Amino acid sequence: MFNSLKLSTRSIGLLARTTRTKATTLPLAAVSSRRLMQTRPPLLQQSHLSRRPVGGSESQGSSGRTRRFENIEFNAPVSIAFFLVVGGLSYAIFEYQKRKLDAEQAQESRKGYGTPQIGGQPFALTDQDGQPFTDKDLLGKFSLVYFGFSHCPDICPDELDKLGIWLDELAKDGTAIQPVFVTCDPARDSPEVLKQYLADFHEGIVGVTGSYADIKQMCKQYRVYFSTPEHVKPGQEYLVDHSIFFYLMDPQGQFVTILGRNLDEVTGVEKIRETLREYRRSH
């Protein structure tokens, strides 16, 4: 029993003092404990751990008086185990969370803005030649989808000019992207109007229009703010508010990233190239 007492006082340095003060009520225990501490080098105690009585018959005999000792005696392994378990657990949780966060961040940087549900749903519209243009026409190639309207005062023409420069630049290294201009103003932008309007810009741009309801649905799919009045008197002039983004869609017709107005002739191309590289690596 003394042996075990000594072990506990040694193994938990801090508790040693408590043990000794309590031990003064038991003179013999105190003396022998002190004596052993002086003579035994601390490193040797490890070998005795296995011979220690564990909660067994010895303590039962002196249960009333040595309750405290027992607690301390058993605290050592219990607390070590406790710290191991708690420490291990918190480490594991920390590692897990960190890994989860890293993965999320990697995904975020790949996708740009998380994983919003943009596009990727069926639609049936009409192109500038009066031919049907549906979600199937987005398959098999990357597309850049832009929403605007031909009566747009200054932003759309600028953005479409920029798009033309991007397309020319990307064509240099063989990157073909289908440019799509979807009007938010179907009342005024008939296929003929679009055809004429887009003739001023890059030749590959597909102009897309449709019924008011279909265009509204399309804008909703792409989270485009849509403020076009439904019933307009003939000859009445109005402007259309709309969001100004290019949506890069993959050959499955799924959303990859958006390109905002902050990107210019050069940085836009850089972003598209980088996005495509990243896309090909992960697909």
Q: Cβ closer to another protein: 27 or 234?
A: 234
**CA 209 to CA 129: how far, in whole Å?**
10
197 interacts with another protein by CB under 8 A: yes
Bridge partners (DSSP) of residue 147 are 182
20 interacts with another protein by CB under 8 A: no
Using CB under 8 A, which of the segments 65-73, 139-147, 163-171, 237-245 binds another protein?
237-245
Using CB under 8 A, which of the segments 19-27, 178-186, 231-239, 244-252 binds another protein?
231-239
202 interacts with another protein by CB under 8 A: no
With vertex at residue 126, the alpha carbon angle to CA 244 and CA 168, rounded to the nearest 5 degrees, is 50
Read off the tokens for 21. Answer: 């003060």
The one-letter amino acid at 254? Q
Nearest-approach distance from CB 237 to another protein, in angstroms: 4
Q: Which of residues 262-281 bind another protein (CB under 8 A)?
A: none
Nearest-approach distance from CB 90 to another protein, in angstroms: 37
Instruction: Show the site string, 154-173: x = touches another protein by CB under 8 A, - = not.
Output: x--x----------------
Alpha-helix residue ranges (DSSP H) falling in the chain: 2-11, 13-23, 27-39, 45-48, 57-61, 67-111, 155-172, 191-198, 212-221, 265-282
The one-letter amino acid at 167? L
What is the phi/psi pair of residue 132, to 5°?
A: -65, 140
Nearest-approach distance from CB 225 to another protein, in angstroms: 17
Bridge partners (DSSP) of residue 144 are 179, 248
Using CB under 8 A, which of the segments 12-20, 71-79, 80-88, 234-242 binds another protein?
234-242
Q: Cβ closer to another protein: 132 or 229?
A: 229
234 interacts with another protein by CB under 8 A: no
Q: Cβ closer to another protein: 85 or 239?
A: 239
Nearest-approach distance from CB 150 to another protein, in angstroms: 6
Residue 184, marked binder: no
128 interacts with another protein by CB under 8 A: no
Q: Which of 21, 79, 236, 254 binds another protein (CB under 8 A)?
A: 236
192 interacts with another protein by CB under 8 A: no
For residue 253, is it left (φ>0), alpha (ψ between -120 and 50) or beta? left
Residue 152, marked binder: yes
Read off the tokens for 151. Answer: 């009566």
Half-sphere exposure (Cβ direction) of 37: Cα atoms closer than 13 Å: 19
How many residues touch another protein under the rule CB under 8 A: the total is: 12
Nearest-approach distance from CB 188 to another protein, in angstroms: 10
Buried/exposed code over 112-144 (b: 16+ C-beta within 10 A; e: otherwise)? beeeeebbeeebebbbbeeeebebebbeeebbb
The answer to whether 246 and 148 are in contact (CB under 8 A) is no
Half-sphere exposure (Cβ direction) of 14: Cα atoms closer than 13 Å: 3
227 interacts with another protein by CB under 8 A: no
SS3 (DSSP) at 279 = helix
Site of interaction with another protein (CB under 8 A): 150-151, 153-154, 157, 197, 200, 235-239
Binding positions for Cu cation:
152, 156, 242
The binding site comprises 152, 156, 242
